[in-house]
């Protein structure tokens, strides 16, 4: 910025904040979309396996489904990740609450919360994450 005059520096500083704000909104939007995608995948797999006695069939589809999804969409759809998506849906079944939480918590937060079995403890930790601003899409600098 050495070669900029005073007016250029002022313009630069005025543009910086809108750019940063826009980037932050994009990050939040992407996080919400990814989180809801993973929740929907978990929901569809869970509901599919529960309909018409397909639970037994599920033991054979779950090993083949990840391979098909990974071929098409990449390693994020491994069997391990699909299992997390199913558990995610099971632990956070209310889509309305999840929409609100996903704007404040990242997928990484939710992965950590999957290990908390007690729903009251899980609620305590996600509330604390939000209140204390532990990482996530809104707190990155």
Q: Which residues contact 70 (CB under 8 A, 6 or more apart)?
A: 76, 77, 78
Q: What are the average pLDDT values for consecutive 10-residue runs of the chain, which has 141 residues?
A: 77 92 92 95 88 58 86 93 94 93 91 93 92 63 39
Chain centroid, CA 27 distance in Å: 11
DSSP summary character for residue 114: T
Backbone angles phi, psi at 122, to 5 degrees: -60, -45
């Amino acid at each position: 910025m050495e070669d900029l005059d005073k007016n250029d520096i002022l313009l630069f500083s005025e543009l910086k904040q809108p750019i940063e704000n826009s980037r932050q909104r994009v990050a939040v939007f992407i996080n919400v979309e990814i989180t809801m995608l993973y929740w929907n995948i978990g929901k569809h797999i869970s509901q599919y396996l529960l309909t018409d006695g397909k639970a037994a069939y599920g033991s054979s589809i779950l090993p083949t489904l990840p391979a098909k999804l990974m071929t098409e969409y990449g390693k994020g759809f491994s069997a391990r990740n699909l299992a997390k998506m199913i558990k995610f849906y099971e632990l956070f079944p209310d889509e309305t609450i999840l929409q609100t939480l996903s704007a404040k918590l990242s997928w990484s937060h939710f992965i950590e919360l999957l290990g908390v079995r007690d729903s009251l403890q899980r609620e305590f930790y996600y509330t604390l994450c939000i209140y204390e601003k532990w990482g996530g899409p809104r707190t990155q600098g």
